[in-house]
Amino acid sequence: MFFSLHLNFLCLLTVSPSEIQASPNTNATLPCNVTFPLSAKGDKMDKSLIKASWINNGSDIASFREAATQIKEGFSWDTTGFINGDFSLTVLRAGLDLQGQYECTISYNSTMLHSSNVTLRILASPTLSIPQQWVVLETESHFTCHADGFHPPPVSFSWTRDGQMIQPPYHIEGEQTPDGYYKAVGNLTFYPSREDQNVTFGCKVSHNGSYQELDFQLNITYLPSVTLSAVLSHSNNIPLTLYCDVESFYPEEISVSWLQNSTVLPEPPATELNPDGTYRTRHYYTLSPEQREQGGKVECAVNQPGVVHPVSGSAYLEKLDPQAEAPVLTKSAKASVALMCISLVLVVLLCFGVSWRRRDEKKKSLNVSGIILPPRVIVGQKGRVTMSIEGRRVDRVQTAWFLNDTPISDTSLTASEKGPLLPSKGEMGYYKLHTLGPLYSSGSGTQQLISSLTFIPQISIHKGAVLKCQVSYMGKDKIVVERVSEKFTILSAPEVSEIQLAETPGDSDVISMTVQASHFHPDIITFRWFCQGSELSPVASQASSSPRPNSEGVFSAFSQCKLPRSELEKEGTKVWVSVHHIALKQPVTRETRGFIKSPCVSEIIGSTSSPEKTLILGCEITDFYPPNVSVTWLKLRGGEQDDREEEVIVGGEMWGPIQTQSRLYRATATLRRRPTNQEKKERGGGIICRVEHCSLLEPIEKHWRNVDVVAPSIPPLISVCWSSEGVGVFSLVLKGGHPKVKLLWAAGGPTLSPLVSDETEEIGDDGQRELKSVCALERSTSMPKTKAAVTDPDTEGIEYIDEKVDEENNNIDRDEDTKSGVDEDSVKEREQGPGALHINRINVTTGPRGNERARMRVCVEITHPALKLPVYRTWTEPNEEILSSTLKP
């Protein structure tokens, strides 16, 4: 049993301003606590008499009236704590758009108890990053430290070397990004020395009292000394061979290019094609001074697949190198040499008979070649390495292959050719082992076995690696021979995007042109821009830096160039960029002509009356150039996130493109489909409209959620009730419908003016959602003065306020409240009362003197996605009421 509780409250509102700080995407609780004094021990609080509300920037966030709760999406309010005086509001996934001052108001039995303000402030710490780059020894170098995603500004930067500060803190306000957060860049200029190698540097950032530090070490480049020389030539009619000696450089990775008269010379191919279909090539080897002094016979041996004995060319160094002098022997030396030769002959004759006894053991000897690598190891393309074994017993030989020290097994039957190449989390990549033989050589009685390995190179695994092949006899553990290959030189050609054109932010008369290269290796790449044959200078490029490789071990870079819009819009203007990389036989070229403008894409509009009928979706694409645009519709299942696997929907149509202005086009993309039974059961899924255009670096995507669109039940007439004071309360109750319906009230005579209305939602007796819209209206301007808030028995308890409040009564009330210590804002809130209706006034007099009265019309416009056109309900004033009001004196 509940008691009617009468409380003697002291009419003094408590104001407790406070500030709550929250990180982005976290929940924040805004406190609001009230102590309810009880007039008698054992009394119970009547929850239906509690009225509570949260307001932010004049907008209702949450309200509790007559035990009914309304709360805005994105907030949570636990009503179970109201009896204990806890009215705290929880902000879900707080963001910058939810910052500001929140006002909590609590009343009981129409008596104001509590009002407080709480300020929500988003505090986001910066994310630090330092682009990896190489600096040149004893040359002015610049480092940048990026602080991204912080709020509020500013931040301060300082730099340290080996824990000691080398640049004091300095403040930077930063630049605001489109998402509302800020970014800033700190700079360090210095001259690196040899002592800076392997020393730890640090970028320290302070934000709102907290500190972060990011350590890094320098990558110092030591410039080489380069000497150019030519190989002596006896005729001007034969090719001249040049060579350059590069000394004292660091790091090891370099590339050399040749230029003649400032023009880049093409890199000679590894092999050249002869007219008869064969190939030719030239290789070089430099002998050290000790090797040169040693003299003797030198050979150039050529290994080929399937060849047991390499083909070789030989010559004596004394003939090749005229500067080498043959040693002069003395008489005693000559005698010693002769004696050694006689001894050698005797030893050979003595061993001749022994060799026959060891004939069987010689049969077991093997001649194993080196591991032959392919001339170019290309990422993603199959490569094969080969080794040949020759002997009389190769039929009993077995081989084992290793990558570094990791054994390799044949996985070609179980692994994908696109999969990982080494064991990773229990998986094995693609390797295929081949064995050919034994092959018999005619006449010699020897056999040949060829062992080879096919694999797909990957930079993250095979860069700097070596292959090993161990040869042993079957059933024996002893390794007879082991061969180790040279280190791989892996190449990956860049994937070059089309040129993307866009207006420069802040200067629409300048067009930015950007090209991107990705998945290339090694990291040295060159971009060259041209316009009508003249070379341009890029304004931004990653080509000169050394970016860190991604998880696959490959690199990405971009280059950007800018031109005036007027230059690009000239007839026939051609701009192109050539991309140079060691993995490319020819440079990759991308070109563009004319002006490009990015499209504007509207939200997806859906239309259907029930799940069984065809679903029609539409998306407007406007203000783009050139007119080539592509649209793809994708299905998104319920519960999937943005990193989902998408399913393409076939059957989309596009109307247009149609030209709207000079160099501007628009188009409309539509999709018609009938939802499947499974889709009807799913809730929360959706459809994506993806728009791609040459001006966009990334496609534009618009989402439409898969929810039932059902029209509400609309009554045929507007309900109206007039009070004794001449105020009409017009109401309309709509049942069901999804999503929420929108209403607009208007009234007047020949023309209509918009009105202020109040909408409330609740669940009806039949379980359906009911939306009640109420609008209070005075039909004449001669209404007598009324109280600030009145309740008429004919309006079923609807309370409304009069805009013409008696100033004299208000002034008296304010004076009394001021004496009691109540602030003016609280007085206004108490005068109007929570939930009071606004009284709209419409002047319906017409005629030149304004003494003629027209029939008043009250109209409400109802719009909903399930309705193709808005629905209108109108109430018109009867003629007899106009006549009676006209006859009044």
Domain extents in the chain: 18-38+45-122, 127-220, 222-320, 368-412+430-457+470-477, 495-591, 600-704, 708-780+838-845+852-879
Given this model, what pLDDT does residue 841 score? 85
Given this model, what pLDDT does residue 809 score? 44
Question: Is 830 in a helix, a strand, or coil?
Answer: helix
* Domains 600-704 and 708-780+838-845+852-879 in one fold: yes
Confidence of residue 787 (pLDDT cuts 50, 70, 90): very low
Question: For the chain, percent helix, then strand, then coil, each to nearest 5?
Answer: 10, 45, 45
**Angle at the Cα of 145 from the Cα atoms of 139 and 149, rounded to 5 degrees:** 165
Question: What would the CATH number be for the domain defined by 127-220?
Answer: 2.60.40.10
Q: Is the pLDDT of residue 679 over 70?
A: no
Question: What would the CATH number be for the domain defined by 708-780+838-845+852-879?
Answer: 2.60.40.10
Q: Is the pLDDT of residue 796 over 60?
A: no
Instruction: Assign domain 368-412+430-457+470-477 to its CATH superfamily.
Output: Immunoglobulins (2.60.40.10)
Both structure tokens of 11: 């009419």
Given this model, what pLDDT does residue 610 score? 55
The letter for the amino acid at 158 is S
Yes or no: say if 105 and 87 are a contact pair by the CB < 8 Å rule.
no
Q: Is the pLDDT of residue 773 over 90?
A: yes
**Angle at the Cα of 814 from the Cα atoms of 812 and 816, rounded to 5 degrees:** 70
Yes or no: say if 32 and 16 are a contact pair by the CB < 8 Å rule.
no
419 vs 248 pLDDT, higher one: 248
- In the predicted model, what is the mean pLDDT of residues 126-151? 88
Q: CA of 625: how far to CAs of 446, 522, 659, 664, in Å?
A: 73, 37, 10, 6
Specify the pairing of strand 28-30 against strand 647-649: unpaired
**pLDDT tens figures, 203-224:** 999 998 888 898 888 888 888 8
Given this model, what pLDDT does residue 185 score? 93
Cα separation, 323 vs 130, in Å, equals: 56
Both structure tokens of 646: 């998408």
Instruction: Tell which residue, 496, 525, 508, 693, has the closest CA to residue 591.
Output: 496
- In the predicted model, what is the mean pLDDT of residues 779-806? 40
Given this model, what pLDDT does residue 506 score? 76
How many residues are there in the chain?
889
Residue with tokens 């190769």: 394
CA atoms within 13 A on the CB side of 591: 12
- In the predicted model, what is the mean pLDDT of residues 32-56? 72
- In the predicted model, what is the mean pLDDT of residues 654-679? 81
Q: DSSP class of residue 73?
A: T
- In the predicted model, what is the mean pLDDT of residues 70-79? 87
Question: What would the CATH number be for the domain defined by 222-320?
Answer: 2.60.40.10
For 317, phi then psi, to 5°, come to -60, -30
- In the predicted model, what is the mean pLDDT of residues 711-727? 87
Q: DSSP class of residue 464?
A: T
Determine the topology of domain 495-591 in CATH: Immunoglobulin-like (2.60.40)
- In the predicted model, what is the mean pLDDT of residues 149-173? 90
Determine the topology of domain 600-704 in CATH: Immunoglobulin-like (2.60.40)
CA atoms within 13 A on the CB side of 793: 0
- In the predicted model, what is the mean pLDDT of residues 795-807? 41
Confidence of residue 880 (pLDDT cuts 50, 70, 90): low
Both structure tokens of 517: 């290269």
Choice among 108-122, 452-466, 806-820, 841-855 with the minimum mean pLDDT: 806-820
Alpha carbon dihedral 610, 616, 617, 622, in 10-degree steps, equals -140
Cα separation, 506 vs 185, in Å, equals: 20
Which pTM does this prediction carry?
0.34
Question: Is 28 in a helix, a strand, or coil?
Answer: strand
**pLDDT tens figures, 372-417:** 887 777 887 788 888 888 887 788 888 899 888 888 887 766 554 4
Given this model, what pLDDT does residue 424 score? 38
- The architecture that CATH gives domain 18-38+45-122 is Sandwich (2.60)
- In the predicted model, what is the mean pLDDT of residues 312-319? 78
Question: Is 217 in a helix, a strand, or coil?
Answer: strand
CB atoms within 10 A of CB 866: 18
For 775, phi then psi, to 5°, come to -135, 125
Residue with tokens 């530090």: 213
Instruction: Tell which residue, 780, 800, 778, has the closest CA to residue 790.
Output: 800
Yes or no: say if 35 and 43 are a contact pair by the CB < 8 Å rule.
no
pLDDT above 70 covers a percentage of the chain that reads: 73
**Cross-strand partners of 665:** 624, 659
Confidence of residue 2 (pLDDT cuts 50, 70, 90): very low
Confidence of residue 655 (pLDDT cuts 50, 70, 90): confident
Highest mean pLDDT range out of 102-111, 537-546, 838-847?
102-111
Highest mean pLDDT range out of 49-58, 346-355, 432-441?
49-58
Q: Is the pLDDT of residue 548 over 50?
A: yes
Verify cis geometry, omega within 30 degrees of 0, for the bond prior to 739.
yes
Cα separation, 151 vs 126, in Å, equals: 8
848 vs 530 pLDDT, higher one: 530
